Amino acid sequence: MPHWTFLTNHAHVLLCVVRDPEARLRDIADTVGITERAAQRIMTDLVEAGYLERNRQGRRNIYHLHPDLPLRHPMDRETAIGQLVSVLTGIDPDPPPGPGATETMP
């Protein structure tokens, strides 16, 4: 096993949530290879920084990515988090509104 990786645990947690917005912290922690407490701290960081929005639905949390926010490192600020997510997962993080969704016109 390598001693380093190209992505941080924050990136791995974010990618887990993008792949499954209803994922439990326990499952995210197992997938990333970190403790549940570490996953909880990372999720709090991502929510407080505005990258994720947490919505309670029953006993579960559902997360929504804000894809237009820039990456945090000064060297990468021209890149939106949604672009990175799209490249790494193939998932469009900002799909067009579905049927019945309301759109605001300019």
pLDDT at residue 95, rounded to an integer = 64
Return d(Cα 86, Cα 26) in angstroms, integer: 24
pLDDT at residue 93, rounded to an integer = 83
Is the pLDDT at 100 greater than 80? The verdict is no
- Domains of the chain (ranges; CATH) run 9-89 (1.10.10.10)
Q: What is the mean predicted confidence (pLDDT) over 15-44?
A: 97
Return d(Cα 16, Cα 86) in angstroms, integer: 13
pLDDT band at 51; cut points 50, 70, 90: very high
- Cβ proximity of 65 and 17 under 8 Å: yes
Give 60's strand partners: 57
Q: Is the pTM here over 0.95, yes or no?
A: no
43 vs 101 pLDDT, higher one: 43
pLDDT at residue 84, rounded to an integer = 95
95 vs 74 pLDDT, higher one: 74
